[in-house]
């Protein structure tokens, strides 16, 4: 049976009411389980932190069945599968600093020799997990390449190190249905760390978007909108995009606290517009 013929078929789902509180010690509460049949009046927010593994892929398959039944899934399951947060930057090379995705350790070494200090990281992580900064002459270089690629058996990413991160941070620009929030959240690494990740101890500083930020958003935003990716975060260091986050972009609460810009409210409005236009 074609997907077109299946549109409107009800898909059973187990649900539980959720109450969320601004209390780190008791921030949510689940109600009693219930079963319903998903349809065009339902919205599913898919928001799960990486690692992006086979269980995540299986979840997107199931969510696609809900989508076929008429539910609006945010972000769209196919986009979640197709847009690896590190690799998808290759679709926008004009926005990025020199980048290499490979499992060839010799190619990684040649890239490092060409560009000097480089950043090396796995493709499936988050929160600064297993990010290495390798400078020329570092005797740990080969160990880093071996560890990240499992001796040439697994892909990893290498990027030219952008020294601007130390002063201006790793800026998160949020895209709501392709349009940027007017403020970015610059995550400034601590003096003891290279990583601009809040989970790694970086400091969050909100700032207005620059003209370069807006240009980058204009290159990437329309593709996100067309693919049904309503909530996306692009990471910008020194005017270059290093990642395109589609699974669980963060920074919303910090931006709201520091600027009053409410990304969640804008996302809910975008969802309502999508529902109304169907």
Catalytic residues: 86, 121, 172, 187, 195, 235, 243, 245
- Give the separation between CA 47 and CA 248, rounded to whole angstroms: 5
Cα 25 to chain centroid distance, Å, stands at: 26
Contacts from 265-271 at CB under 8 Å and sequence distance 24+?
A: 266/176, 266/181, 267/74, 267/176, 267/177, 267/230, 267/231, 270/176, 270/177, 270/230, 271/43, 271/72, 271/74, 271/230
Strand partners, 34: 15
- Give the separation between CA 73 and CA 45, rounded to whole angstroms: 6
Does residue 46 come out as left (phi exceeding 0), alpha (psi in the -120 to 50 range) or beta?
beta
11 HSE (CA, 13 A, CB side): 23
- Give the separation between CA 96 and CA 177, rounded to whole angstroms: 22
- Give the separation between CA 173 and CA 158, rounded to whole angstroms: 22
**In angstroms, what CA-CA distances link 192 with 51, 202, 247?**
26, 10, 28
CB contact at 8 A, 28 and 20: yes
- Give the separation between CA 85 and CA 91, rounded to whole angstroms: 11
Task: Please name which of 43, 99, 14, 83 lies closest in space to residue 234, comparing C-alpha atoms.
Answer: 83
CB contact at 8 A, 140 and 198: no
């Amino acid at each position: 049976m074609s997907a077109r013929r299946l549109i409107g078929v009800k898909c059973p789902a187990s649900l539980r009411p959720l109450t969320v509180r601004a209390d780190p010690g008791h921030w949510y509460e689940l109600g009693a389980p219930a079963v319903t049949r998903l349809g065009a009046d339902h919205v599913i927010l898919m928001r799960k932190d990486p690692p992006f593994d086979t269980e995540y892929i299986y979840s997107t398959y199931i969510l696609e069945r809900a989508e076929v039944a008429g539910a609006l899934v945010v972000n769209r399951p196919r986009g979640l599968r197709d847009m690896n947060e590190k690799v998808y930057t290759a679709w926008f090379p004009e926005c990025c600093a020199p980048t290499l995705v490979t499992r060839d350790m010799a190619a990684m070494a040649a890239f490092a020799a060409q560009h000097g200090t480089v950043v090396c990281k796995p493709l499936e992580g988050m929160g600064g997990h297993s990010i290495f900064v390798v400078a020329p002459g570092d005797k740990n270089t080969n160990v880093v390449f071996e560890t990240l690629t499992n001796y040439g058996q697994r892909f990893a990413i290498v990027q030219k190190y952008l020294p601007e991160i130390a002063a201006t941070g790793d800026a998160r620009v949020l895209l709501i249905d392709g349009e940027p929030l007017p403020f970015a959240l610059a995550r400034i690494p601590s003096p003891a760390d290279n990583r601009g990740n809040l989970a790694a101890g970086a400091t969050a500083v909100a700032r207005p978007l620059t003209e370069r930020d807006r240009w980058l958003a204009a290159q990437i935003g329309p593709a996100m909108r067309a693919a049904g990716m309503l909530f996306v975060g692009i990471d910008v260091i020194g005017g270059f995009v290093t990642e395109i986050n589609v699974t669980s972009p963060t920074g919303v609460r910090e931006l709201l606290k520091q600027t009053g810009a409410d990304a969640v409210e804008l996302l809910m409005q975008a969802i309502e517009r999508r529902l109304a236009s169907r």
